[in-house]
Structure formats: C-alpha cells, structure tokens
Amino acid sequence: MSENLIQASQGTPWCAWQHSARLARARWLRPEQLCPPGRRLVLVAPHPDDEVLMAGGLLAGFAGREQDLLLISATDGESSHPGSAHWTEHRLRRQRPLESRHALQQLELDLNRLDWRRLHLKDGALPRDEAFLTNHLNQLLKPDDLLLTTWRGDGHCDHEAAGRACAQAAQARRAQLAEVPVWAWHWARPDDPRLPWARALRIQLDENHLARKRQALACHASQVQADDQRPPVLPSRLQACLLQPFELMFL
C-alpha cells in the first residue's frame, strides 16, 4: 500500500480491533521475558518517532540498563510533510531528531549512556539504501541480540525496507528478529489474513511504562499536531491503537 493511500484512509479504530479473534489469541509476554537483563536490544527505527511507536513501552524498561540497548535511526524523517510551507525538509531534518531526543528523555533513558546511531539516510528512499543498511547491521550484530524493527509488510516503503534489511542481517548473524506493525493498525482489517498472526505476541506494558510512552509520543509535535489545515501525519485512530497496554510484535 502506498503512503498516499495510507494517509487518505480514515483507518481502523481501536473499537474494531477489540473484536479481532486473531489479536485476542496472540500470547502475552512480559518485557523481561523478551529481553532480560544482559541481552542486547538493537532497535532500528526508519524515522524519528518509530522507536516510540514500535516499542516505547519496552524501551521505558531500559532506563538504568542503557548498556543493553543500541538504537539506530535510519533517516531524519525530513519528508513527512511534502509541500508544507511550515514543515519544510530543512526544518524537519533538524526538528524530528530533536523530538526523538526529548521523547527518549521522557522514557527516562540516560542519553549520555545510550548508544544512539543516526545514519542520515534519505527519508522515503530507504529501499535504495537497503543493501547498505543490511551490511551496516552485519557489522554490528552479535549472536543472541534481539533485533527489533518495523514489519516487512507494514505498507510504508521505508518500514518495509528496514524490515527486509533486518531480516537478512538477523539470519546472517544468528540474531533474533522481532517485527512490529505500525501503519498496519491503520489499513488492515481486524482479522486481516495478510498479517502473520501465527508469529504474533503481545508485550505487556504496566501503567508506568505506558504513561511514559504516551508522554514520549507527545514530544513528536510535528507528527501528532495538525499542520494548518492539514490533519496530523499520525491519525488519532492510529495513535489510539499504538497506545494500548501492550506492544504487538511478530517473532
């Protein structure tokens, strides 16, 4: 699905997802079961804000154990507002990483101890740099790492390219891959057969971690606030789906 079609769609509301039999069957897992202390989480975010949308609650649990976390930001998200007079590419290239910084602070992560790498790849053109990203990850990954990124079928070209690159690197380096749907919450039907439900699990978030995730998402003002007459890049229905007390992953 193209980004234009995604943004044109009103999206599937959370009340519809509540009736999904396949979602209800996804097993629950506590964060410490997925990534216990001493195991490294390598998170690849195609755009600034994807780290929060995918796993803000999980990341909140890494406060005090930043040594177990490697965060990779593939792009600076400069192409999120095509044609906008206010959010130009030049402005977004500076603003969106700053929003990520503030969001990570809301998750109570110590940025002085966090290994956060920004690759500055072109937003909207990640498929072109897919081989580069794969090779880059091959140099960084270790066996038994948990590699987390956006799902290969998410409906956004950058999300899908990141998913494919991570899948290749995880296989080559014998790391475990976890893929997270983001835009799929928006365009998919509640029991959509296109989603890999057999691999689905829900990471349970407590109230504290969910509250931090909500605060972190609010830091991404360029994405959650309207741009003059234009609606927010992240529709309110999508935000509601991604701010439930769990994070859905395909493992």
pLDDT computed for residue 9 by the predictor: 67
For residue 139, pLDDT beyond 60: yes
For residue 8, pLDDT beyond 70: no
Asked, for residue 249, whether it belongs to a domain, the answer is no
**Mean pLDDT confidence for 201-216:** 98
d(Cα 88, Cα 171) in Å, to the nearest integer? 38
pLDDT computed for residue 228 by the predictor: 87
Res. 121 pLDDT band, cuts 50 70 90: very high
The model's pLDDT over 149-195, given as tens digits with 9 standing for 90+, comes to 999 999 999 999 999 999 999 999 999 999 999 999 999 999 999 99
Structure-block tokens of residue 249: 């992953």
**Mean pLDDT confidence for 186-207:** 97
Asked, for residue 167, whether it belongs to a domain, the answer is yes
What is the length of the chain? 251
Asked, for residue 213, whether it belongs to a domain, the answer is yes
Q: Are 242 and 184 in contact (CB under 8 A)?
A: no
Number of domains present in the structure of the chain:
1
Mean pLDDT of the chain: 95
Q: Provide the H-helix boundaries in the chain.
A: 3-8, 14-17, 21-25, 31-34, 50-60, 89-106, 130-140, 157-173, 184-187, 207-218, 221-224, 236-242
**Mean pLDDT confidence for 201-222:** 98
pLDDT over 90 for what percent of the chain?
95
pLDDT computed for residue 3 by the predictor: 47
Asked, for residue 91, whether it belongs to a domain, the answer is yes
Asked, for residue 251, whether it belongs to a domain, the answer is no
**CATH code for the domain in which residue 89 is found:** 3.40.50
The model's pLDDT over 45-58, given as tens digits with 9 standing for 90+, comes to 999 999 999 999 99
Asked, for residue 16, whether it belongs to a domain, the answer is yes
Asked, for residue 250, whether it belongs to a domain, the answer is no
Asked, for residue 80, whether it belongs to a domain, the answer is yes
Which residue range is the domain that position 160 belongs to?
Answer: 3-244
The structure's pTM equals: 0.95
